[in-house]
Every structure is written in C-alpha cells, then in structure tokens.
Amino acid sequence: MILEDGFEVLRPSSQKIGPSHLERLAVVYVRQSTAQQVLEHQESTRLQYGLLGRAQRMGWPKERVLVIDDDLGISGASSEGRRGFSRLVSEVSLNHVGMILGVEMSRLARSSKDWHQLLEICAIFATLISDLDGVYDPSQYNDRLLLGLKGTMSEAELHVIKQRMNQGKLNKAQRGELAFSVPTGYVRQASGEVIFDPDEEVQRVVRLIFRKFEELGTLHGVLAYLVEHGVKLGIRVRQGEAKGKLEWRRPNRMTLQNVLKHPIYAGAYTYGRRRVDPRKQKPGRPSTGRTVAPRQAWHVLIKDRLPAYISWEGYERNLGRLAENRARADAMGASREGPSLLQGLLVCGKCSARMTVRYGGSRNRHTYVCGRQSTDYGGEVCQYLSGPPLDEFISERVLEALKPAALELSLEAAKNLESEREELDRLWKMRLERAAYEVERAGRHYRLLEPENRLVGRQLAKDWEEKLATEQKLKEDYRRFSHEQPRPLSAAEREAIQHLSEDIPALWEATSTTDKDRKEIVRQVIERIIIDAEGKTERVRVRIEWAGGTTTESIMIRPVAKLKHLSYYPKLCERVRSLAAQGMSAATIAGCLNEEGYRPPKRREGFDRQSAQDLIHRLGLSRQRLRSEGQEDLGRHEYGGLGSWLASWACPKRRSTAGCVAAGCRHVSSRRCLTAGSCGPTMRSWEG
C-alpha cells in the first residue's frame, strides 16, 4: 500500500505488469510427467496449484485466474497429445492471456521447438511469463535470452535423464537381466526367470506351429491348417485385472508371424530388436511406429540364454523361408496355383538374375523370361523360352530322381500321417481334460454355496450348465474327428500309400494332384535351375542344382518359330539340296531327313511331304523335276490328277498367284497357276 495524490493504491509486485496485462487472464499451467508422479509426488502438484494465490497477490482477481491442468501425467518432451499446452497456446494467440505462471520452465515444455514457439507468440501478444525466480517479458531481449537459456537447460536436463536411464537399461540387458514381456509359450516368474508356459497344451500348440511351418513352408498354410482343425492359441493377458490369466484365441496371421520371427523361441535373449521410427509414429500414439532392426544393429544378442522350442539353425531357416516367400523379383516366392511348375526356381545363366513367369495367349500358356536388364537398364531381354516344354523336361528328371526312394517315401508318408493324427488326438484330449476341469470347478463352486443364497445359486447353476454343454459339444466333436481320421492307419490306407508310391508318374499326373502340390515336390528336391539358351536356337543348356549339393547338366530341345533358328539349319539346307539333286520326291526327302535325325521347328515329330515341299521351294529348287514314287510320264494332253484338283473349290492357303506352289497348292508341280489374285474355283489358263 502506498499513497499517490492522497489515494491508496494496490501496486503490482513487478514493474513489468501493467494495466494491459491485468485486463487479461492469468493462466496457471500445471503438469506432471507420469501418472506415478501424480500419485506419489503430491507435494509438487500442491506447489503448482499454489501459484493461484501468487497470481492474486500480483493483482489478478481470483475469477480472472485460469488453471490449466489437462496435462497431468503427460511428458513435456513433445507437444503431441498435450491438450493443456495446445489450449494455452490458443488462448495466448487469441490475446486472452496477460501472464503465464509455472513453477519452472520445464513444466511448460522440455522441447526447444515448442518452447521457442511459445516465446514467439508471447512476444507478439505482450504476454508475460513468471516462475519462482521472477517475471519475464519475452519481447525484451535480456528476458528473451534468459528464457531461451532456461529452455535449453530444461531440454538438456531431459536428455541427461534419458541417457542415464537408457545406459542403465543397456547395462542390465547386456547381462541378460532386463525384464520384458514374453510371447505365448513362455511366462516370467516372480523372480524374473523366464520358463516354458506351465500349461502343456500351450507348449504343444507352439511346437505344432513350428513343425507345420517346416512341413508346409508358408505362413498361410500353417494358418489354414490351424483353422481347419480348430486349434487355438493360448495367450496370457498382459494387463488389467485378468493379468496372467490364460485365454484361448483363434489364430491370426500377425501372431503366427511374430512366433516364427521371435528369437526367444530359439533360446536367445535380445535387446534393441524393435525400435520406434519417428517417421512412422502416429501423433498421440506413442506405441506406434515400431520397426524391426536388422540383426547387426541389435544392442544385445545372447544365445542359449532361455529355454528353446527350436534350434538357432531352425530359426534362421524359418527366417530365410519367410523372406523367400515374399512376392519379389529377387526371391523365390511361395508356391502358387498357376500352372508354371518352376516358378521361383529358374536363374538366368547370362546375368544370374531370377527369371519370372508371364502368362498370355488364348490357352493361357506361360513363358519364362529374364527381363531384369530390360526393366532396370532399358536393355534387351536376356532370354525367354516356352514354359510347358521346360516343365516337362524337369518333371522327367524329378520323377527319375524319386524312383529309388519310392519305398522310403511311402514309409515316411505313412509315418508322418500317423504322427500328425496322434498329435491332433493329443490336442483334442487336452481340450477335453480342460473342459472336464472347468465342469468340476463350476460344480464345486455350486456345491459349496449355502442353499439359502438363491440369488448367487441361480447364477452358479447357470454357469455349471454352460460348462456341461461346452464339454458335451467337445465330446461330440472329438467322436466325429476320431471317426473321420482314426489315429492308426487302416490296412486299406497303408495299401493305397504303398501302391501310389510304386507308380509315382501316375500319382504325378493324377487329377487330384494340384499344380501347387507338384511345385512343392520339385522344391523339396531342387534348389535352383540355371538356364542358358544358345541364342535363338532350339538348344538350351540346363543345370539342375539338387538339394544336397549334387548338380546335373543336360541339353533341352525347345520349340522355335522358324526353320532358320534351328542350330543345324545350314546342314539341313545342304542335305536337302543334295537329295533334290538326286531327283527324289518331296515325300522321299522327308523320310531321309527323319531317318538322319533332322527335325522341323516347334518340336514336331518329323518332316512330312508338305514341310519338305516348303523347304524345297524356300531353297529355290522348285523348277527341278521332282518325280513322285511310281509316277509315270504323262503325254502332251494328259494332266494326271488335274480332275481331282478341279473338283476342289479353292486353294486351302488362299495365297497369291506367285506364291501358290510354294504355299503347297495341289497343282501339278511342273505347271504354274495363272489365276488372278488367288486360286479360284475355275482354272482360266495353263502354261508349262
């Protein structure tokens, strides 16, 4: 209280506070970093709420002081998800705030970006900032410099705290002692030790997942198998009132993928495998944006530290198989339903790139193409070849390789089938045992209840009846399963397996064998196939790398479109000229070529009269007199088979006059058709 001109006036505690500030609101910002601090560090919370009295002592009425405490339990490292801070910035931007009060600057923001943004807005709208040390005006250079330094120290303090905590976690993780949540199949005891889930059914389901993936080779195949047989996954609840309780949930793709990729199932302790990528993190959701780091970037990897379901080598095989199943040009990919037998196995012998499959044509025929140079560098296609001939060629080699192992395969198939049925039978019995336990437990609760307490008794009786109905349904389903798939193989089933193994080619061609089944068989015995075509000729060098390390090389004959693409085309032409010079007919020449091993393009069985005639005229030998076998010389006015030709309406080739004979027109070879345009239904004139 002081006197000015005889009047008593209440002066503010700081000379920086003017009437323009008192006309607006005073905002008290309250924040604690975590919910635990709110519960345990209540003195700090009371100190922040006590700033309300300080604002009143500075000259603001109580009704003009606004308390913003929406950010209790939220970190100040970022403005994302802080509704109270966003509200504060909005109020300042609307010129509603004369002063912001906080215990210290770290309560407002621990990020330089957010802190300097707030200072800039406060400087524009002449808003003061106050802490326990004094009042600051962001529009003044000295105060702005001091506030900026405090904000930087606040951010550095947060960094030091994080660094200290992270280093402590890393040191503990390097000893393999840092606790983390464990996936299905494991539980963590109160002592911190990680052990197998004590529930036997949970363990069997996890082992079944790994065994079926090794057998089927695809994630989708394992998922379909579990769904088909009604197998569920045992999941321990991680939080809430039911924490630690075992729940049975239907399988899904993401859970199965996590099981196959998690190194804990191989007995390895890891830290730093999953990290947060800020680019993928969604605002307000701190648990998002997690990515899996490559193995060389993991902070800690300790093998044989925890109990294991599979070996480390098996874990690496699973990762490799999952990577190969991706639909990418450089990966083998999973077996699909298309007719291409060698999808993902072919490698170009020229550029070592993996060849792809293309479908097209009226018959949906497939072609194997190496287009890496064309796609990536704008060059030419390395090579391409028709799919069915190569599939047939490889199929013959695979069947030959499987012949010696026919009996062994039949015994192995019977053994695997019996083992699979026994495993499913054990799972069913465990489910029945669990259902019987639930029934007995519900009945025990009902019997222990006082008879007079009917309110609770009715609910317990209802629960008991539900457990009994569930058990009855499971028993019916188990009887149905046992009837459809008896555990031991019957004599008829064993005989059928043995009979099929003795005739593997028939089994291969059977309609019940799908293209996907054939692909899986080929992938079991072949690692990859290297293809190297000799230019545009029919010869293709095929190198097969079998599973186990052995290799075989052979030459495949593929179909080509034209005669000139045949590797022996020059020799073929010389031979035809030699035979034509001897006065042989077209049919005789065709027979000689077939006997000597020459074959026409498109993998036809051999030359016929028509194809030999075409080749003769292609070589310009059409004017030579080629006598047919047993043909007599005709007179001047005798035309031999002309009458039969006149009976035909038109030349089947419908070619032009100049190309009539070369196209195979059934005219006398020594004469020339003069019909204009094409061979018509009547002959106008002849010369010859």
Q: Rounded to whole angstroms, how far apart are CA atoms 557 and 568?
A: 12
Q: Which long-range contacts (CB under 8 A, 24 or more apart) does 569-574 make?
A: 572/598, 572/615, 573/615, 573/619
- Element housing 259 (H / E): helix 253-261
Cα 674 to Cα 319, 625, 650, 679: the distances in Å are 74, 20, 14, 8
Which residue, 215, 207, 213, is CA-closest to 319? 213
Catalytic residue (choose from 14, 33, 90, 362): 33
Q: Rounded to whole angstroms, how far apart are CA atoms 319 and 322?
A: 5
Which residue, 143, 135, 140, is CA-closest to 13? 135
Q: Which residue bears the tokens 């300080």? A: 54
Which residue, 270, 275, 304, is CA-closest to 174? 270
Cα 31 to Cα 64, 71, 93, 335, 400: the distances in Å are 20, 5, 21, 57, 77
SS3 531: strand
Start-to-end CA distance of the chain, whole Å, equals 141
Q: At what angle do helices 200-216 and 406-448 cross, to 10 degrees?
A: 150
The two three-digit tokens of residue 257, written as one number: 């993928």
Q: Rounded to whole angstroms, how far apart are CA atoms 387 and 283?
A: 51
Q: Rounded to whole angstroms, how far apart are CA atoms 490 and 424?
A: 17
Q: What residues are paired with 386 via a beta bridge?
A: 367
Residue 318 contacts residue 213 (beta carbons within 8 Å): yes
Look up 33 and say whether it is catalytic. yes
Residue 335 contacts residue 519 (beta carbons within 8 Å): yes
Q: What is the bridge-based pairing of β-strands 539-546 and 134-136?
A: unpaired
Which residue, 69, 85, 76, 86, is CA-closest to 28? 69
Which residue, 35, 92, 30, 81, is CA-closest to 55? 30
| Residue 214 CB neighbour total at 10 angstroms | 14
Catalytic residues: 33
